Amino acid sequence: MADVEQSPAAAVGHEIRARHEFRGMRSVEHYFTVPLDHDEPTGGAITVFAREYVSAAHSEEAAARLPWLLFLQGGPGGRGNRWGSLGGWGKAAAQDFRILMLDQRGTGLSTPLDRVTLADRGSAAAQAAYLEHFRADSIVADAELIRKALGSDPWTIYGQSYGGFCALTYLSFAPEGLREALITGGLAPLTGSADDVYRATYQRVAARNEEYFGWYPEDRKTVERIARHLRAATELLPDGVPLTVERFQMAGAFLGGNTRVDSLHYLLEDAFVETAGGPRLSDTFLEQLQGVVSRRSNPLYALMHESIYGQGQATNWSAWRMLAENPWFRPDAEPLLLTGEMVYPWYFEQDPALQPLQEVAQLLAAKQDWKPLYDPQVLAGNAVPVAAAVYTDDIYVDRELSLRTAAAVRGLQVWETADFHHDGIADDGERIFARLLGMVRSATR
């Protein structure tokens, strides 16, 4: 039987459906009913799911007195982490906090968003209008309603990657809800266009390719062999769709971290098997690659990725346009370079999970009147303690752009380090979290 609670904040529904205890932690499953459009709260509602994690070292009575920490996941389109036990930064945070792991709207157990559910919204224009409510400003408005529904004082937020972008939005539009903010690999540019971001991204990814092939020179030959093979032969992914050179380039997603980069080598070493008819790509390789090149589990990422840089102007497929300035990333280039998190219009032609959303994606790319995601004036007068880890060689969130943002936020403390890449909190999350928390706490003494 579910525990049902009614929030005093804007009549937000709050339902607790399950509680569990295992491996040294307790979890509570929270479902919140929030407006689809926070500017028109009576115009329809969606569900936002969040899972609470607490260390079992705290009694239930003691845990109820702990302050809340809200974790904002990377993305867009990434659901909150599912933990089997407390480790890394979660282990460190659970000493002093109740952790709320948010499934940002449209992800995980929140009201689902994919090619099937979007079709229920009607025309492509209606679907695009619906998706306008799935950016950082709406996520932050959800979080504030949830905080009030939980009866929390201003809480601590921890934003990784896109979660850091959301943290800057939080600091812009609802700083009264924050005690302090921690950000890792997520200082978004406050102004400018998506073109600025992708110009920097291409340079970073090119440098990371060079570094990687310096470690594994044999993989340079394997990448070229795969590209030549795909130009001459048809290879089908497990979903039955032909693998193209440009989709193979998406394997560069592994280049974005220290904890994942060596997995690229293990993927490539499985590439070929010898057959009576000559070399073919192995089922092992194709099965692994399927999970990299498909957006079936997170279509929101492909649909909304460039919109996270949209403020008062269209993005117009920025990464695709910037490719013209970086022709060495073209699929016919030799030597072939692997790409990163860029989203291209052909995604919606070659990925079966995205094909029904092609017109919607085009409408979003052409949208010119995106609302502001940040308030530079508020950030310039910021009074909330903020600490951010900036990774010197981060290929997805550029160092120079990050430091420019840091300088524009009053009181923001930067810890720059070359020890980690974009996935730093998966590498040594406990140390990173403790360092950032110590920085914001020292600022308030």
For residues 306 and 413, membership in a common domain is answered with no
Whether omega for the bond prior to residue 8 falls within 30 degrees of 0, making it cis, is no
Place of tokens 């460039």: 306
Strand order, beta sheet including 386-391:
3-6, 13-22, 25-35, 45-55, 98-103, 68-72, 155-160, 178-184, 386-391, 412-417
Looking at residues 308-314, what average pLDDT do you find? Answer: 95
265 is catalytic: no
For the segment 258-283, the average pLDDT, to the nearest whole number, is 95
- Lowest mean per-residue pLDDT among 8-22, 358-372, 380-394: 8-22
Identify the burial level of 220 via C-beta atoms within 10 angstroms of its C-beta, where 0-12 means exposed, 13-18 middle and 19 or more buried: middle
Alpha-carbon distance of 49 to 108, in angstroms, equals: 8
Please tell me whether residues 104 and 175 are part of one structural domain. Answer: yes
Q: Check 3, 96, 369, 442 and give the catalytic one.
A: 369
32 and 149 both lie in a single domain: yes
Give dist(CA 428, CA 434) in Å, integer.
10
Assign residue 282 a region (left: φ > 0; alpha: ψ between -120 and 50; beta: otherwise): beta
Number of domains in the chain: 2
CATH of the domain at 169: 3.40.50.1820
Q: Given a cut of 90, is residue 52 above it in pLDDT?
A: yes
Residues 200 and 183 grouped into a single domain: no
pLDDT of 41 higher than 80: yes
* Cα–Cα separations (whole angstroms), residue 250 to 294, 318, 382: 10, 17, 39
Provide the phi-psi class of 317: left if phi over 0, else alpha when psi is between -120 and 50, else beta. Answer: left
Report CA torsion sign: 423, 428, 434, 435: negative
Q: Are residues 294 and 415 in the same domain?
A: no
Q: Indicate if 303 and 427 belong to the same structural domain.
A: no
133 has catalytic annotation: no
Same domain (yes/no): 19, 162: yes
Span 235-250, pLDDT tens digits: 999 999 999 999 999 9
Domain span at 326: 194-366
Domain shared by 347 and 381, yes or no: no
One-letter identity of residue 42: T
Q: Band the pLDDT of 257: cuts 50, 70, 90.
A: confident
Do 353 and 307 have their domain in common?
A: yes
Report the percentage of the chain scoring pLDDT > 70: 97
Last residue of a domain, one of 333, 366, 399: 366
Q: Which of 110, 138, 161, 402 is catalytic?
A: 161
Query: For the segment 106-150, what is each residue's pLDDT rounded down to a tens digit?
Result: 999 999 999 999 999 999 999 999 999 999 999 999 999 999 999
CA–CA separation, 320 and 338 (whole Å): 15
Q: Could you say which of 316, 332, 366 is where a domain stops?
A: 366
422 catalytically annotated: yes
Tell me the torsion sign for CA atoms 212, 216, 220, 225: negative
Q: Are residues 148 and 231 in the same domain?
A: no
**8 A C-beta contact, residue 164 and residue 190:** no
Ramachandran bin of 411, using left for φ above 0, alpha for ψ from -120 to 50, beta for the remaining angles? left
Mean pLDDT of the chain: 95
Q: Looking at the structure, do residues 178 and 54 belong to the same domain, yes or no?
A: yes
Last residue of a domain, one of 366, 401, 419: 366
Alpha carbon distance 209, 371 (integer Å)? 35
Residues 433 and 295 in one domain: no
Confidence of residue 11 (pLDDT cuts 50, 70, 90): low
